[in-house]
């Protein structure tokens, strides 16, 4: 899949594992289920990470777009 617009990367990562970093420094990993143009994002099987370790498991989660710094596919 060719990426010509930023959201193309997120589209190509749907149903795959991603890492999300928030403005408050928190990191989540999980399966990317949905996102919109505001970058509001839903993860499934989400885990909050700290120093590479799972801090807590939160399952499905809605992340408000304006709190997100970056989203990176895991592979």
Question: Using the rule CB under 8 A, is 66 a contact of a copy of itself?
Answer: yes
- By CB under 8 A, the count of residues binding a copy of itself is 39
* 29-38 core/surface letters (b: 16 or more CB in 10 A; e: else): bbbbbebeee
Site string for a copy of itself, 1-40 (x = CB under 8 A): --xxxxxxxx--------x--xxxx-------xxxx--xx
- Cβ-Cβ contacts under 8 Å for 70 (sequence gap 6 or more): 20, 21
Using CB under 8 A, list all residues that contact a copy of itself: 3-10, 19, 22-25, 33-36, 39-42, 46, 58-73, 75
């Amino acid at each position: 899949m060719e990426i010509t617009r930023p959201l193309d990367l997120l589209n190509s990562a749907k149903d795959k594992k991603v890492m999300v970093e928030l403005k408050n420094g928190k990191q989540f990993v999980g399966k990317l289920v949905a996102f919109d143009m505001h970058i509001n994002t839903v993860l499934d099987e989400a885990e909050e990470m700290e120093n590479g370790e799972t801090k807590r498991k939160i399952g499905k989660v809605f992340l408000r777009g304006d709190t997100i710094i970056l989203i990176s596919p895991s592979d």
